[in-house]
């Protein structure tokens, strides 16, 4: 292999592609669409908890995206800490949605 003529001239490509931020942006767009639909049908059973669930999901994804994108610039830990506002709201909002939608709450 030492005699391979182009071995020392080839350099690896330093292309870094991370699909996670793209997935987060798509998730935020879907959550915003769910918020818009829940707002238009806010008189329906379970609409308010679905709105809160979607808003908390969008908050979680936006803060997670900013935490990844900010890197070492500003204080990235503030975004990491703000993620938990959305995390804490998701489970009770989904429970309230399920109970209201099935007329048990």
Burial of 75 (0-12, 13-18, 19+ CB in 10 A): exposed
**Separation of alpha carbons 95 and 91, rounded Å:** 6
Render each residue's pLDDT in the chain as its tens digit; 105 residues.
555 555 556 566 566 668 888 999 999 999 999 999 999 999 999 999 999 999 999 999 999 998 888 876 667 788 888 999 999 999 999 999 999 999 887
CA within 13 Å, CB half, 16:
2
The alpha carbon of residue 69 and the mean position of all alpha carbons in its chain are separated, in whole angstroms, by: 13
What was the pLDDT predicted at 93? 97
Listed by start position, the domains of the chain span 20-101
What was the pLDDT predicted at 75? 78
């Amino acid at each position: 292999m030492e005699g391979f003529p182009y071995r020392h001239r080839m350099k690896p490509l330093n292309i870094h592609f991370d699909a996670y931020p793209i997935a987060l942006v798509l998730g935020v767009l879907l959550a915003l669409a769910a918020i818009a639909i829940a707002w238009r049908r806010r008189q329906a059973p379970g609409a308010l908890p679905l709105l809160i669930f979607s808003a908390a999901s969008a908050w979680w994804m936006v803060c997670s995206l900013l935490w990844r994108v900010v890197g070492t610039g500003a204080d990235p830990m503030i975004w990491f800490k703000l993620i938990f506002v959305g995390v804490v709201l998701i489970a009770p909002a989904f429970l309230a949605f399920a109970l209201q939608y099935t007329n048990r709450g």
